[in-house]
Each structure stands twice: as C-alpha cells, then as structure tokens.
Amino acid sequence: MSETNTPASDASQSSEVPEKFHRKPLSFVRRGDRLTPRREKAWEQWAPSRILQVPRQVTDTSVAEHASFDQESVYGRMAPLVVEIGSGLGEAMAHRAAEVPEHDFLAVEVYTPGLADLLMKSAANGSQNVRAVQANAPEVLDHFLEPASLDEMWVFFPDPWHKKKHHKRRLVSAHFVDQVASVIKPGGTWRLATDWQEYAIQMRQVIEADGRFENLNPGPLATDSAPDQGWAPRWEGRTLTSFERKAREAGRIPRDLTYRRRTD
C-alpha cells in the first residue's frame, strides 16, 4: 500500500553492493523501522514464529537464489495459499485471514512497523494462518516461492510513483507480470487495486498484453466517455483500510482489477 510501500533503496545500505543490484530500480524507498512500544512487544512475541527467515544475498531485504519455501512445514498443513505483495499495515490480510481460516496467508513486506501491525492484528483476530517474509517482492517471486504454487495473489495500492521520470520504479511492469504468472496456479486469481487512474490503465495494459491472464470483468480501457468499463467491482473480501479511506476523501476513485491465470 502506498503509505507503507515506501521502505529506501537497498542500494543505499552498502557501498559494496554488487553492480547487478543497481541495474533494476526498486519499487520502494526504505522508511524508518523504529517500533513503538506496542509494536515492539508484538514483534518480540510473534516475529520468531511468524516472520519467516530467508537467506540473504547482499542486503537485508534481498533473497538468496537458494532460498526455498516449504508451505506444509511453515503452516503444518497444505491449504490454498494467498500471497499479498506490499501488505502495508496488515489490515487487509489480518481481516481476510480471520474470515477464511481454511486458507494460508503470506505477506511480503519490507516495512518493519507494518509487519508488526500485521502481527498485532492477526493475533488479536486469533488467526493462526498468517506468516510474513520481510523481503523485496521480485526476489521472493524469483527465488522463494515455488512455480505454480499460489492460489491467489494480491497487489493492493502499490506506490504509484506518479512522476513520469519515476514510472520505471512501478511494481506492476511487464517483467513483474511474467514473475507473477510463473508462481500462480493455472486457474488462480490475481487481485489488484490502485487509486491512481493512470496507473490502473497501465496495469491493465501490461497484464493483458502478457496473454496469460484473463480479465474477469472485460471491457474497453477507460475513456472520457466510458470511464467505468472493464474494471472489477470492489472486492468484498478487502476490508476498507485507512489508506483507501484517505484516498477517497482526497477525491481519488480506487480501481479494482481481477484476473484469472489461464489454464491453456
């Protein structure tokens, strides 16, 4: 989500980062990780069992190529797996995990206070099915998750990087679509939302150009004369977060997109 997906470029953390880590701009800017007393208490209590440890390549949000995710070992069962990229303050995941305890949920986030909030909220809901990995999302998709292992993927309110010179930092790109297509099961669902119309249009363009995803609410791209065609209705499973509420108060209209991974 935009308010928490601005954790600082890993490249700024070390002067010895190999050149390959500078080639692709990150979709986030690292924010401060200082915890309030409540968040610190939640982190100390729940992080050891619910924040997954992954081998790092160079930086503290990187994922080594030999990393692996054993869902059965992590959750003690095999169940439908839902992954959220950029879980922010954990509102959406904690809410849905309590509603659907028969599913497993994995948050991918770099912002420590946000993860601490997710731990607090899921514990308050009594949810035993939430885990998180603190890492750069593209590396999680490349090195951590197994191919065709996800039943559902969420990308809600990623940083829009609205200045044109920063569009290269946007998470949802053709390369990212290719990564998502590799980890979602055939027939699996990809849900997205953004409150920036121009970014919403770009999302549709790059996802639908890939060809491996079917828009479950097809229609022509929005125009001045037909602004609401082709968008999904607001998904009832996504709780109204503080961020979305602020976006609406500012006059921005959130757009939902729902895709299915093609089976052919």
Catalytic residues: 159
Tell me whether residue 241 is annotated as binding: yes
Tell me whether residue 84 is annotated as binding: yes
Residue that has been written with the tokens 């992590």 in this structure = 74
**Cα–Cα–Cα angle for 102, 183, 222, nearest 5°?**
95
Cβ atoms of residues 119 and 125 within 8 Å: no
Strand (E) or helix (H) holding 123 = helix 112-124
- Give the strand pairing for 51-52 and 130-133: parallel
DSSP classification of residue 53: -
Cα radius of gyration (the chain): 18
Largest distance between two CA atoms of the chain: 53
Q: What are phi and psi of 232, to 5 degrees?
A: -80, 150
Distance, in Å, from the CA atom of 24 to the CA atom of 134, rounded to the nearest integer, reads 19
The token pair at 198 is 């121009």
Tell me whether residue 236 is annotated as binding: no
The token pair at 2 is 């935009």
What 3-state class would DSSP assign to 248? helix
Could you please report the per-residue DSSP string of 196-220?
-HHHHHHHHHHHHHHSSEEESS--P
Tell me whether residue 243 is annotated as binding: yes
Tell me whether residue 242 is annotated as binding: yes
Tell me whether residue 72 is annotated as binding: no
Tell me whether residue 152 is annotated as binding: no
Tell me whether residue 125 is annotated as binding: no
Tell me whether residue 156 is annotated as binding: no
Closest CA to 60 of 39, 87, 33, 25: 33
Which residues are known binding-site members for substrate?
163, 195, 241-244
Which residues are known binding-site members for S-adenosyl-L-methionine?
84, 109, 136, 159
Which residues are known binding-site members?
84, 109, 136, 159, 163, 195, 241-244
